[in-house]
Structure 1
Amino acid sequence: MKKKKRLVMRSIILVIMLAAIVYTLYANFTKETRGEMAVGEQAPDFILSDMDGNEHRLSDYRGQGVFLNFWGTWCKPCEREMPYMNNQYEVYKDQGVEILAVNVGEPEFVINKFIQKHGLNFPILKDTNKEVLNLYGVTPLPTTMLIDPEGKITAIETGELSEAKIKGMMESIKPQ
């Protein structure tokens, strides 16, 4: 009886390990079809809702610079750069630069608590099913993409940003 149970457990573990290997291979070989944007490419259009239920379509921001940030509440570097983003949003929002901060797959309650804790004023969009994350091929969080007024990606930055870096990035996509 013990040998049979052990055999069943080993078989289950083996099947799980094989499934993980197959998934990893699949994910790596289909990476190109899932996205992975490059500087100079046109930013793919998307529609996401903000915390008030308003829809934001990326193409509606044509003519403005867009600071597109992918983040999560659990991500400490994301949390540290949010106040800097908020400060620079206050400076650049009337100069034709918009921040769209895309939260990746978290419940509204958690996102709202985070927004209140940090007093964030810029649009927080919900990518509940991680569709936009996959469309853009984003892997590490935070990742920020700069989109110029013509809709082209001008920079892709991964990792935590300083306030000086954010200011320079916003300046670079400000409409002339």
Structure 2
Amino acid sequence: MKKKKRLMMRSVILAIMLLAIVYTLYANFTKETRGQMAVGDKAPDFNLIDMNGNKHKLSDYKGKGVFLNFWGTWCKPCEREMPYMNNQYQVYKDQGVEILAVNVGEPEFAINKFVQKHGLDFPILKDTNKDVLNLYKIKPLPTTILIDSEGIMTAIESGELSEAKIKGMMESIKPR
């Protein structure tokens, strides 16, 4: 009787351990796609303050194309693409395309120093608590999301962008 009880208990423990292993594997293999933003989705709305104290609400840009860029001052690829973004902003800002560059969780001093160093003219938004970064489930930096004039995400690009790529992206979200 004791042997049978012990065997039953070991079987239950083994079954629980196997279920835990199967669940862990499932969770790890599907985490990349679970809950992630996808092209064709409506871009989640947000409110952020820029470096000049102005409020920016994504939904206020309906009717314009939005080049939404997540970045950090410590990120070398971010630093390399910023001048290209600024050049193309000069070309497209009067054609209905806006850049919203979201800095993720850095102090104003570091952001201001970076902006001055590169002479950036587009709005730099402060995501102090990384709320928007988490809302959009952004990894890694830089990541750029293109949003059309109807508020639909048309592209999600991770990594450094060339100036030619930025130009093509802005052209693709320019209102017709």
Query: Alpha-carbon deviation of 1:32?
Result: 7.4
Q: Match of 2:138, SS?
A: coil
Name the Cα RMSD after superposition: 1.8
Query: Alpha-carbon deviation of 1:133?
Result: 0.2
The aligned counterpart of 2:65 is 65
Structure 1 spans left out of the alignment, 5+ residues: 1-24
Counterpart mapping for 1:1-176 below 5 A? 36-176=36-176
TM-score (norm 2): 0.81
Distance across 2 between alignment mates of 1:169 and 1:84 = 12
Q: Match of 1:134, SS?
A: helix
Counterpart residue identity of residue 126, structure 2: K
Structure 2 spans left out of the alignment, 5+ residues: 1-24
Counterpart residue identity of residue 111, structure 1: I
Identical-residue share of aligned pairs (%): 81
TM-score (norm 1): 0.81
The aligned counterpart of 2:20 is none
Query: Alpha-carbon deviation of 1:36?
Result: 2.2
1:122-142 CA-partner distances (Å, limit 9, x unpaired): 000000000000000001000
Are the counterparts in 2 of residues 31 and 137 from structure 1 also a CA contact under 8 Å? no
Distance across 1 between alignment mates of 2:168 and 2:109 = 33
Q: Match of 2:100, SS?
A: strand
Distance across 2 between alignment mates of 1:31 and 1:53 = 35
